[in-house]
Amino acid sequence: MKPVKERFATLAVFLANGFGIGAWAVEVPRIKAALSLSDTTLGLGLFAFALGAIVTMPLAGRLAPRFGSGRATALLGVAFVVALPLPAFAPNILSLGLALLMLGATNGALDVSMNGHASTIEAEWRSPIMSSFHAAWSAGGLLGAASGAMLQKWGVGVIGGLMLPGLFIGVLIVCAAVAALRDIGPRASAPTSGLALPSAAVMKLAALAFLCMMMEGAIADWSAVFLRSVLSGEASVAAIGYSAFAFSMAACRIVGDVSVRRFGSERVTALGGLVAATGLALVLDLPNVVTACVGFALVGVGLANVVPVIFSAAGRSTLTPAVGVSMAATAGYAGFLVGPPMIGFGAGLVGLRLALCVLLVAALVVFLVGGKAVRNASLATIAN
């Protein structure tokens, strides 16, 4: 019997986590302005977020064998809710760094735990359903960004802009935990480390995952800051970039499996990189309200299904699929965490627009070598 209730409960956690990250993304410009932070100083704060996640990701892998993946996901979900509004209370960069350290720690641990629990459900389901979980996360990001923009339009302050979404996702996670966020299948006997280094066989795929998720993380934290600086508009107007990105990514992930079956994984990867590069070039070259919507939507369309394809190819590149996927996922999450502070440091040196050109280069690399890397993985599978 398929774990239907457990699947929907886990989908709710992915939705809640995405909602929280989306709400945080649109508050970054207001926090930056309130504390009078430069791009470089904000980059330092975002680095604290990344550091917190990097520290807790390997520790989160030890929670599932001890408490069970379902219970660990529920506990970490509550911790994420508690940490979400903390940056809004920070009076200076030091306290902001500490708050972001805690938020990054809880988010990174929850990310590992909920993906591990989703993998367990997928195994029991006996059919590929992982894209649906990531679609729920993207949909949550869209809803979180949209609700954040709406709260700003209504004059709600930064504290309310994070506490109200936190209240919503807290109720969602508690309901999911009570309803069906429970362990299924055999409990793992040993923790799975999220710090496995890529082997030579999956190094290129891991590098591509790093680039794709670096773009995703940087857009989440810097799109609103960039648009607010070039459009000279309200924070709610600047939020449209991330909203368009999250909406298009969520929509395309819903039909991701169909796209791969129809066009092939190699073409989806290469064309995805090209579409993402086109969107980034449009936004950076001609920034206005229309190009922000269209450009960031194109980036979401392009990146939506590249990472799932890369994970699948990495699984085919090792004797044990889970080993290859974990290697690519580790590199990908590293890119997601490293991207935002890297853009911040670059912005302090050469300006934000030029620093964001790094994302354009990354998309072009995916376009040029991504399809070949995926094809080589498929050929290796046939040879074996």
Check residue 265 and give its pLDDT. Answer: 82
Domain boundaries, the chain: 1-186, 196-384
Give the best-scoring range by mean pLDDT among 100-114, 326-340, 351-365. 351-365
CA pair distance 108, 52, nearest whole angstrom:
7
- CA atoms of 83 and 295, how far apart (whole Å): 32
Q: Which of 221-230, 310-319, 350-359 has the lowest mean pLDDT?
A: 310-319
Question: What is the rounded average pLDDT for all residues in the chain?
Answer: 84
Look at residue 11 and tell me whether its pLDDT is greater than 90: yes
Question: Which CATH number does 196-384 carry?
Answer: 1.20.1250.20
Q: What is the pLDDT of residue 322?
A: 47
CA 25 – CA 99 distance, rounded (Å): 15
> What is the DSSP secondary structure assignment for residue 190, as one 8-state letter?
S
Lowest pLDDT segment from 10-19, 73-82, 122-131, 284-293:
122-131
Would you place residue 140 in the very low, low, confident or very high pLDDT band (cuts 50, 70, 90)?
Answer: very high
Half-sphere exposure of 33 (CA within 13 A, CB side): 15
pLDDT in tens, 171-224: 999 999 998 887 676 555 544 444 455 566 678 998 999 999 999 989 988 888
- Indicate the range of 86-95, 100-109, 154-163, 368-377 predicted with least confidence: 368-377
Q: Is 182 helix (H, G, I), strand (E, B) or coil?
A: coil
- DSSP type of residue 183: -
pLDDT at 110 over 60: yes
Q: How far is CA 183 from CA 9, 63, 126, 187, 188, in A?
A: 12, 13, 16, 8, 11
Task: Determine the average pLDDT of the residues in 29-39.
Answer: 91
Tokens representing 373? 């890397």
Is the pLDDT score of 135 beyond 70?
Answer: yes
Nearest residue to 348 via CA among 14, 23, 46: 46
Do residues 317 and 377 make contact, with C-beta atoms less than 8 angstroms apart? yes
**Cα 170 from chain centre:** 19
**Helices (H), ranges, the chain:** 4-34, 39-60, 63-67, 69-83, 93-125, 130-153, 158-179, 203-231, 235-238, 240-254, 256-263, 265-285, 289-303, 306-316, 321-350, 352-383
What's the Cα-to-Cα distance from 125 to each of 189, 242, 255, 305, rounded to whole Å? Answer: 21, 33, 19, 21
Angstrom CA distances, 197 to 178, 201, 203, 330, 336, stand at: 37, 11, 9, 8, 16
Structure tokens that stand for 145 in this block: 């960004």
Q: Looking at the chain, how many residues does it have?
A: 384
Q: Would you say the CATH fold of 196-384 matches that of 1-186?
A: yes
What is the percentage of the chain residues whose pLDDT exceeds 90? 42
- 9 by Cβ neighbours in 10 Å (0-12 / 13-18 / 19+) ranks as buried
Q: Identify the CATH number of the domain defined by range 1-186.
A: 1.20.1250.20
